[in-house]
């Protein structure tokens, strides 16, 4: 099969090496990081960023705009780790769980696909899940709600204008075009 990779976050280095030995193959490389929480947060937040990529696709915006939104999303992922995780390792973002999964999800994942359809077809999230995902649930919309609630609780929403704009679009408080209209307030 095609080459791919994954990231194993560990607390115990010996256990991490055992998992790496079990799963690592020439066509499936497994890297290690002593940052399991960072791996999990990257896995969750990439889905929120993918919504923005889908909004951009649905609006017919170009590749440069989409790439800029992905970069902005990566910046807020880093800031989230810094402010809310007590210092997510910065190199975790460069592992497969970070940048590689973010790019893959923003250019081909189901969150991107449904967000594009949300803009183009004007249907609600539940209808899109039923139609495009066979009833599976989107992770990005749910995670967006949880991220927003946490940011409000920690009085940090103002530090995450991109995530907050995505949340407003998801909940219908803002139009999808706001993803770029607010670009000057992002990083």
pLDDT, tens digit only, all 187 positions of the chain: 799 999 999 999 999 999 999 999 999 999 999 999 999 999 999 999 999 999 999 999 999 999 999 999 999 999 999 999 877 898 999 999 999 999 999 999 999 999 999 999 999 999 999 999 998 999 999 999 999 999 999 999 999 999 999 999 999 999 999 999 877 777 6
Q: What is the pLDDT of residue 182?
A: 75
Neighbours of 33 (CB within 10 A): 20
Q: Which tokens in the block code for residue 148? A: 């927003």
Which residues face 31 on adjacent strands?
A: 7
Which residues face 32 on adjacent strands?
A: 8
From its phi and psi, is residue 86 left (phi > 0), alpha (psi between -120 and 50) or beta?
left
Which of 46, 66, 123, 153 is catalytic? The answer is: 46
Residue 154 annotated among the catalytic residues of the structure: no
Which residues face 65 on adjacent strands?
A: none
- Cβ atoms of 182 and 161 within 8 Å: the answer is yes
Q: Model's pTM, two decimal places?
A: 0.94
Q: What is the pLDDT of residue 88?
A: 86
């Amino acid at each position: 099969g095609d080459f791919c990779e994954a990231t194993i976050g560990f607390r115990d280095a010996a256990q991490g090496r055992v998992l790496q030995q079990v799963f690592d193959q020439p066509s499936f490389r497994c890297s290690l990081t002593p940052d399991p929480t960072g791996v999990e947060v990257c896995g969750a937040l990439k889905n929120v960023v993918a919504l923005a990529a889908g909004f951009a696709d649905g609006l017919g915006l170009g590749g440069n705009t989409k790439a800029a939104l992905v970069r902005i999303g990566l910046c807020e992922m880093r800031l989230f780790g810094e402010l809310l995780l007590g210092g997510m390792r910065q190199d975790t973002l460069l592992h497969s769980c970070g940048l590689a999964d973010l790019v893959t999800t923003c250019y081909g994942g189901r969150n991107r696909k449904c967000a594009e359809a949300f803009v183009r077809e004007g249907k609600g999230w539940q209808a899109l899940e039923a139609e495009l995902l066979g009833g599976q649930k989107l992770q990005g919309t749910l995670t967006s709600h949880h991220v927003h609630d946490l940011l409000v609780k920690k009085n940090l929403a103002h530090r995450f204008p991109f995530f907050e704009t995505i949340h407003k679009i998801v909940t219908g408080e803002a139009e999808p075009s706001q993803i770029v209209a607010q670009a000057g307030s992002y990083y």
